[in-house]
């Protein structure tokens, strides 16, 4: 039997002469490079650029990365749109994270804020609003930013990636740096961590929000592996990475455990302490492969049974929905008829590669959709209320890990 290939871990490699090895736990071909692009025609969607997925897990720290990722083919521009602000659940999450930042600074102190990977500046503006005058200045960095006209006074956004060259643009008075859902898009993990650390100073705090790959593996969440997310961390691996660059951090769960919230700073003295490793990575990776395979088979069988009842739609046409639909339609062509999204900029557009239309809830109901699969269990309550308020009688299933049989545990 041929020995599977191993890869040096981008986080652990420099620690030993040989480096720690990684094993592939998920492979896919012909997947979209970008999940959250607004593609106006089905032809453009089906012609979307594609790449390969080779998700590899480090046997030492648990870090998971795409060994087939090519950063040179990635372009985040004005067509990139991952706005989920229409969700009340997500709005509550954003407010909670903003309040964590505000509470980290003594109430009598002004806040001078920097956000790396600020998108359209929604969180930056929310923090400014909830600070009620405490956020005196704010600076953002994001190459896809287009919303200069909506920025409040004292706020500026640079339409660029954050590299060592941008460190000089961090104002001297800055006391909070934040980077939400950016680090998982960066394959050169050492350089990005070095840039973050270069922006730090004694008394300055760093906050990072990113998916927790422990949660993905534990739940068999195959829908959470996609090309954009080329670097996924465990609490241990992100703590180790930041410690290598002189930062001490604390990691706590967020977003019902799907994300982790990292608070880091330069320690007052001594060497930064690394967050303990929670589980053996190899066992976790093997468990993921078995669990995700069973879930994929179960969902495919469930959808095939439901196909005779009428059109099947997914609720959530962002990363999870794009991935789920791609995998299901590869097994049974056309089984997913549409994706529902509350983001109006996506409605009327199409999912990359599959060309599945993205519609508003009312349009999906009008097309006679008989089965709705909710892509994220965090949104189930608000979606169920919306469906009930519309008088829609479709069967509702929720994509989660509760059972390998959607008929029994996923349907409400």
Q: Does a structural domain hold residue 77? A: no
CA atoms within 13 A on the CB side of 59: 10
- The number of domains in the chain is 3
Buried b (16+ CB within 10 A) or exposed e, 387-411: beeeeeebebbbbbbeebebeeebe
Q: Say yes or no: 58 and 200 in one domain.
A: no
Euclidean distance between CA atoms 282 and 127, whole angstroms:
40
Q: Say yes or no: 398 and 295 in one domain.
A: yes
46 token code pair: 């089906």
Q: Does a structural domain hold residue 83? A: no
Q: Say yes or no: 252 and 292 in one domain.
A: no
Helices (H), 144-264: 189-198, 213-218, 235-244
- The DSSP code for 345 is T
Q: Does a structural domain hold residue 140? A: yes
Euclidean distance between CA atoms 174 and 3, whole angstroms:
51
Q: So what's the pLDDT on residue 169? A: 94
Read off the pTM.
0.92
CATH code, domain with 397: 3.40.50.720
Distances (CA, A) of 388 to 109, 362, 364, 368, 383: 47, 12, 14, 15, 9
Q: Say yes or no: 248 and 360 in one domain.
A: no
Q: Say yes or no: 262 and 289 in one domain.
A: no
Q: Say yes or no: 398 and 311 in one domain.
A: yes
Q: Say yes or no: 328 and 355 in one domain.
A: yes
**Digits of tens for pLDDT over the chain (412 positions)?**
455 556 789 998 754 445 557 889 999 999 999 988 889 999 999 999 999 999 999 989 999 999 999 999 988 776 777 777 778 999 999 999 999 999 999 999 999 999 999 988 999 999 999 999 999 999 999 988 888 878 888 899 999 989 889 999 999 999 999 999 999 999 999 999 999 999 999 999 999 999 999 999 999 999 999 999 999 999 999 999 999 999 999 999 999 999 999 999 999 887 888 878 877 888 899 999 999 999 999 999 999 999 999 999 999 999 999 999 999 999 988 999 999 999 998 999 999 999 999 999 999 999 999 999 999 999 999 999 999 999 999 999 999 754 444 443 443 3
Q: Say yes or no: 146 and 292 in one domain.
A: no
Q: So what's the pLDDT on residue 75? A: 82
Q: So what's the pLDDT on residue 1? A: 46
Domain, as residue range, for 256: 88-266
Q: Does a structural domain hold residue 18? A: yes
Q: Does a structural domain hold residue 275? A: no
Q: Say yes or no: 191 and 318 in one domain.
A: no
Q: So what's the pLDDT on residue 343? A: 92
Euclidean distance between CA atoms 228 and 211, whole angstroms:
12
Q: Say yes or no: 216 and 333 in one domain.
A: no
Q: Say yes or no: 157 and 204 in one domain.
A: yes
DSSP E strands, 236-385: 248-254, 259-265, 312-315, 336-340, 358-359, 371-374
Euclidean distance between CA atoms 283 and 312, whole angstroms:
35
Q: Say yes or no: 231 and 93 in one domain.
A: yes
Q: So what's the pLDDT on residue 241? A: 96
Pair 58, 20: CB distance under 8 Å: yes
């Amino acid at each position: 039997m041929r020995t599977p290939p191993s890869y040096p871990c981008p986080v652990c490699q420099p620690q030993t002469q040989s480096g720690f090895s990684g094993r592939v736990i998920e492979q896919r071909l012909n997947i979209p490079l970008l999940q959250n692009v607004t593609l106006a025609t089905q032809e453009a969607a089906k012609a979307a650029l594609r790449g390969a997925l080779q998700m590899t897990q480090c046997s030492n720290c648990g870090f998971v990365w795409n060994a087939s990722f090519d950063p040179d083919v990635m372009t985040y521009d004005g067509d990139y749109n991952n706005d989920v602000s229409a969700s009340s659940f997500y709005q509550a999450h954003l407010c909670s994270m903003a309040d964590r930042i505000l509470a980290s600074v003594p109430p009598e102190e002004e806040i001078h804020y920097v956000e790396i990977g600020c998108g359209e500046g929604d969180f930056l503006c929310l923090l400014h609003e909830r600070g009620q005058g405490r956020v005196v200045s704010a600076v953002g960095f994001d190459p896809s930013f287009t919303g200069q006209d909506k920025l409040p006074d004292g706020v500026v956004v640079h339409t660029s990636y954050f590299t060592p060259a941008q460190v000089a643009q961090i104002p001297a008075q800055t006391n909070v740096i934040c980077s939400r859902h950016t680090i998982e898009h960066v394959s050169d993990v050492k350089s990005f961590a070095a840039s973050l650390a270069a922006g730090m100073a004694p008394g300055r705090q760093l906050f990072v929000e990113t998916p927790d790959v422990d949660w993905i593996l534990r739940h068999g969440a195959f829908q959470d592996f996609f090309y954009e997310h080329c670097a996924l961390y465990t609490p241990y691996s992100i703590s180790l990475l930041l410690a290598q660059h002189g930062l001490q951090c604390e990691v706590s769960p967020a977003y019902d455990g799907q994300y982790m919230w990292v608070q880091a700073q330069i320690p007052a003295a001594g060497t930064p302490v690394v967050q303990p490793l929670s589980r053996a990575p190899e066992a976790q990776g093997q468990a993921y492969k078995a669990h995700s395979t069973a879930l994929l088979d179960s969902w495919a069988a469930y959808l095939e049974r439901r196909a005779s009842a009428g059109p099947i739609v997914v609720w959530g046409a962002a990363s999870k929905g794009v991935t789920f639909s791609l995998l299901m339609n590869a097994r049974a062509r056309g089984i997913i008829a549409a994706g529902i999204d509350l983001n109006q900029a996506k409605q009327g557009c199409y999912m990359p590669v599959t060309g599945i239309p993205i519609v508003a809830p009312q349009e999906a109901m009008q097309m006679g959709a008989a089965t709705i699969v909710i892509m994220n269990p965090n949104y189930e309550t608000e979606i169920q209320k919306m469906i009930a308020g519309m008088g829609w009688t479709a069967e509702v299933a929720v994509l989660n890990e509760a059972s390998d049989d959607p008929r029994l545990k996923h349907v409400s």
